[in-house]
Structure 1
Amino acid sequence: MPKILLLVLMGYAIGSIPFAILASRLFRLPDPRSYGSGNPGATNVLRSGHKAAALFTLAGDAAKGWFAVWLVHRLGADVTVAALAGLAAFLGHVYSLFLRFRGGKGVATALGVLAGLQPALALAVAGIWLVVAFVTRYSSLAALTAAAGAPFLALLLDLPREVILVIAAMSAVLFWRHRRNIRQLLNGTEPKFGRGRPQRKPPADHP
């Protein structure tokens, strides 16, 4: 049990690395928490107009989810422990140790975790995101649709029950983190991604 706890905590620490903040400093951009949605994630970094910074953020956030699962596997843990470490990495992104337990919404990190657990599942979920995003131009709607489909796809792929439960837990958290986006989608005020210049985040945007 102490070893399992250590591996899970290691996953959380890896997931806590805030690539949106690192990208913004690297490319000399404003702190992503100061404009747009205030979310330290790739979609909000894209609102700065700097595509390279957004791509760096996306790649880093996905890679840390994958790396947490891969590393735990390499250390000899079974798939259940690897899934728990992946869940911890996802929660580390959402509630980052380095950002006073605040963070992004977790879409890219969740995808990275899926890639570490089952690459075919990650490809299918990414495909759902891409189709919905391309058709609607709503990043949030694409994320919600992909999150809703992930547990069912995991069932179709006959993944272990513990892995399916971890995926369902990530999906539930993703819906919770997108609750404001859901309200905005329903009332027609949700912004489409890749458009407009960054605006200073109003106080009401703080979670």
Structure 2
Amino acid sequence: MTSWLVLNGFLLLAAYLLGSIPTGYLLGRWLQGVDIREHGSGSTGATNVLRTVGKLPALVSLLVDIGKGLAAIALVSWSYTWPVATQLVPDATGMETWLPWIATLAGLMSLVGHSKSLWIGFSGGKSVATSFGVLLGMSSSVALGTLGIFVLVIALSRIVSLSSMTAAIGASALMVFTHEPLAYQIFAIAGGIYVLWRHRSNLYRLWTGTEPRLGQKWSTSNSQS
């Protein structure tokens, strides 16, 4: 039992560390010598990289952040194929019962890592791209449906934050309606709530009509997030 707990503790720690890689912050430092947290929205996510550093760095940031979430789920799935891991299962339920729950915890840890990175004073981004990476690892069909919601809303509104929050809510619904494992449904709901909470300053700006649209420069009158 102790070895089983150690294995899963290691996987959760690794998921957090993967998520905590501060992609946007590093790109800002390397390419322009700036701390991206002191510009735009203050987030280290791809949207603020786009406004602060440029299109190509934003694309790199987006892809890496997606990869962090996907890697966290892949690490758990790969580790659970080890014969030694099978021998450590504490009861007769089998690995297939435990895998979704540990993957869910690992996914949540990667989100926390992205938004509360150990390497940059426990600050970070909004966890949207990393959430999408986790969804890809759990259910590609749900992930693609969530992407479709994001694309539709951003095409209509041109507001990234609104699209991200709508997609987060949509992911929860899709997980339930497609009858994915209960653990994955819980991740989608908990992850969606976390993404909404990380966007609370955006919600205020949406309410006051000051949230910038895609392509607009950040106004100094907007509050830092």
Which bin holds the TM-score, normalised by the shorter protein? Answer: over 0.9
In the alignment of these two chains, the number of paired residues is: 204
In structure 1, the residue matched to 2:84 is none
SS of the residue 1:101 aligns to: coil
Distance in 1 of aligned mates of 2:221 and 2:125: 15
Distance in 2 of aligned mates of 1:44 and 1:28: 14
Please tell me the root mean square deviation across aligned C-alpha atoms, in Å. Answer: 1.7
Residues 50-199 of structure 1 correspond to what in structure 2 (within 5 A)?
50-76=54-80, 78-196=99-217
In structure 2, the residue matched to 1:35 is 39
Post-superposition Cα deviations, 1:27-80, rounded to whole Å, max 9, x if no partner, equal 235221111101111000111251001001101111000011011100116122
- 1:201 Cα shift? 9.0
Question: Is the 1:35–1:200 contact (alpha carbons within 8 Å) kept by the matching residues of 2?
Answer: no
In structure 1, the residue matched to 2:88 is none
Instruction: Find 2:27's aligned residue among 11, 23, 28.
Output: 23
Question: Is the 2:22–2:114 contact (alpha carbons within 8 Å) kept by the matching residues of 1?
Answer: yes
Distance 1:200 1:99, change over 3 A: farther
> In structure 1, what residue type is equivalent to 2:144?
L
Q: Which runs of 5+ in 1 are unaligned?
A: none
Distance in 1 of aligned mates of 2:59 and 2:26: 12
Instruction: Find 2:8's aligned residue among 4, 8, 13.
Output: 4
Larger radius of gyration: 2
Matched, 1:13 2:12: no
Distance in 1 of aligned mates of 2:61 and 2:14: 21
- 1:185 Cα shift? 0.6
Q: Which runs of 5+ in 2 are unaligned?
A: 81-94
Distance in 2 of aligned mates of 1:149 and 1:13: 27
Question: Is the 2:32–2:53 contact (alpha carbons within 8 Å) kept by the matching residues of 1?
Answer: no
> In structure 2, what residue type is equivalent to 1:170?
G
Distance in 2 of aligned mates of 1:142 and 1:155: 20
Distance in 2 of aligned mates of 1:14 and 1:49: 23
Distance in 2 of aligned mates of 1:8 and 1:48: 32
Distance 1:128 1:30, change over 3 A: same
User: Could you tell me the TM-score, scaled by structure 1's length?
Assistant: 0.93
SS of the residue 2:32 aligns to: coil
User: Could you tell me the TM-score, scaled by structure 2's length?
Assistant: 0.85
Post-superposition Cα deviations, 1:90-148, rounded to whole Å, max 9, x if no partner, equal 11001111111111000000000000111111111011111111110100100110011
SS of the residue 1:26 aligns to: helix
Distance in 2 of aligned mates of 1:164 and 1:191: 32
> In structure 2, what residue type is equivalent to 1:75?
S
Distance in 2 of aligned mates of 1:200 and 1:55: 24
